[in-house]
């Protein structure tokens, strides 16, 4: 198999923020609360003689309890690999936009986000929505997300849709995560998610998990059990003998050694 070679000509990242530059030492001062960043990449496939242009322009603004932002993406053209381009072959549009309201503080407060957003529940066994431009992954959700904190309890609830391989949002995801951080030595949490297919006659896929995160001295542990159910699969494959169609377990144990040599 012949490997394609890419020659990167330009990789440019520019970030402006009102918190970085002060009025005394900056030739350009952004309004308070405004942040601007731009990442541009131009590459050329020597073997196939194909040029690739990718650009991400992000603007974020916050004022008091309100925040908003958008990301303008341009791929003209994009990487020819369908797993990378994902329906954005020749594309230029606002692909990410949001509006958020934060009321209260980290101990007692609520946050509401409408538009595009990312979310991670636990270690990501049930839900991991994130962006990684190095490997061209962006599975953001488009919908509404609510987060609330009160007396050690943290609740996250959302509804949204992720883009598929051809950049279409069809299936709808409903998910919620509840955790308790009131103890110093242990954290508890549970997650529930349900995927609603585009076709009404197809059964929903439901996922759930329970997790525990103990901490003692220099040891930190994590354990999570997850299960998956779907009525169509339960009846057609398992003849309704099983209440779940899959399960998983994740565990880890970390030891922190604070000092090795010449400790004072």
Q: Are residues 204 and 135 in the same domain?
A: yes
What is the total count of domains within the chain? 2
DSSP 161-197: EEB-TTS-B-SEEEEEEEEE--SSSEEEEEEEEEEE-
Over residues 214-255, the pLDDT tens digits come to 999 889 999 999 999 999 999 998 888 888 999 999 999 999
Over residues 170-210, the pLDDT tens digits come to 999 999 999 999 999 999 999 999 998 888 889 999 999 99
- Alpha-carbon gap, residue 83 to 134, rounded angstroms: 13
- Alpha-carbon gap, residue 134 to 115, rounded angstroms: 24
Q: Are residues 99 and 228 in the same domain?
A: no
- Alpha-carbon gap, residue 209 to 226, rounded angstroms: 4
Q: Tell me the residue range of the domain where 7 lies.
A: 1-104
Q: Are residues 142 and 176 in the same domain?
A: yes
Q: Are residues 235 and 123 in the same domain?
A: yes
- CA 12 vs. chain centroid, Å, equals 24
Which stretches does DSSP call E strand in 197-233? 205-216, 219-230
Q: Are residues 116 and 212 in the same domain?
A: yes
Residue 164, CA atoms < 13 Å, CB-side half-sphere: 9
Q: What is the pLDDT of residue 2?
A: 45
Cis bond upstream, residue 80 (ω within 30): no
Q: Are residues 33 and 81 in the same domain?
A: yes
Q: Are residues 87 and 148 in the same domain?
A: no
């Amino acid at each position: 198999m012949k490997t394609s070679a890419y020659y990167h000509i330009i990789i440019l990242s520019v970030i402006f923020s009102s918190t970085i530059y002060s009025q005394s030492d900056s030739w350009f001062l952004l309004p308070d609360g405004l942040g601007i960043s731009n990442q541009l990449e131009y590459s050329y496939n020597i073997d196939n003689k194909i040029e690739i242009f990718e650009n991400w322009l992000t603007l974020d603004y916050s004022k008091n309890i309100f925040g908003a932002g958008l990301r303008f993406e341009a791929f003209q053209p994009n990487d020819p690999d369908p797993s990378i381009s994902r329906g954005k072959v020749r594309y230029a549009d606002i692909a990410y936009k949001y509006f958020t309201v934060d009321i209260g503080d980290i101990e007692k407060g609520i946050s509401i986000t409408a538009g595009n957003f990312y979310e991670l529940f636990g270690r990501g066994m049930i839900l991991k929505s994130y962006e990684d431009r190095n490997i061209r992954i962006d599975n953001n959700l488009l919908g509404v997300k609510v987060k609330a904190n009160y007396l050690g309890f943290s609740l996250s609830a959302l509804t949204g849709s992720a883009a598929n391989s051809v950049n279409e949002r069809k299936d709808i995801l409903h998910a919620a995560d509840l955790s308790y951080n009131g103890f110093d030595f242990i954290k508890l949490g549970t997650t529930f998610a349900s995927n609603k297919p585009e076709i009404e006659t197809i059964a929903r896929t439901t996922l759930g998990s329970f997790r525990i995160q103990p901490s003692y001295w220099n040891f930190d542990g994590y354990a999570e059990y997850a299960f998956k159910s779907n009525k169509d699969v339960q009846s057609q494959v398992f003849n309704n003998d099983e209440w779940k169609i899959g399960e998983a377990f994740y565990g880890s144990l970390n030891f922190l050694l604070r000092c090795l040599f010449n400790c004072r």
